Structure 1
Amino acid sequence: MTMHPLEKLYMDYLSEKDISRGTYEFYKTILKQYTRYLNERNILYATTSDILNYKKLLIQKGYK
């Protein structure tokens, strides 16, 4: 996969939100990390277990 379909979706979503620049960048970073995770694992449609595995990975990396 080159570009995950969610990338265009979240960019469109963020461009329509009335949020500060800092919030925009924060959301963009988080969503970019998530779509990278999906791309690296060739996941087109995430299941509940995919999301739970992503959450476990973040916890292992020290995120709360």
Structure 2
Amino acid sequence: MHIMLNNTPLQLATHCTVAELLQQQQLKTEGLAVAINNVVIAKQHWSKHQLQNNAQVQLFQIVTGG
């Protein structure tokens, strides 16, 4: 399965969820936001949201401050 992760092509062995992708990529989830095909996916749905072939996945680090 092929996806684009932050505009970089990525080949995955099998279909997976957003949570599984983040784990495979060894990414910290603290303060992370995920958008798939320009739609933000709520963190509570990451473990259920299945990625589809050719999905455009964007990861954003949330920054707070004043």
TM-score normalised to the size of structure 1?
A: 0.24
Structure that is richer in helix per residue: 1
Q: State the structure with bigger RCO (CA 8 A, min sep 6), 1 or 2.
A: 2
Which of structures 1 and 2 has the bigger CA Rg? 1
Q: Which structure features the higher share of strand residues?
A: 2
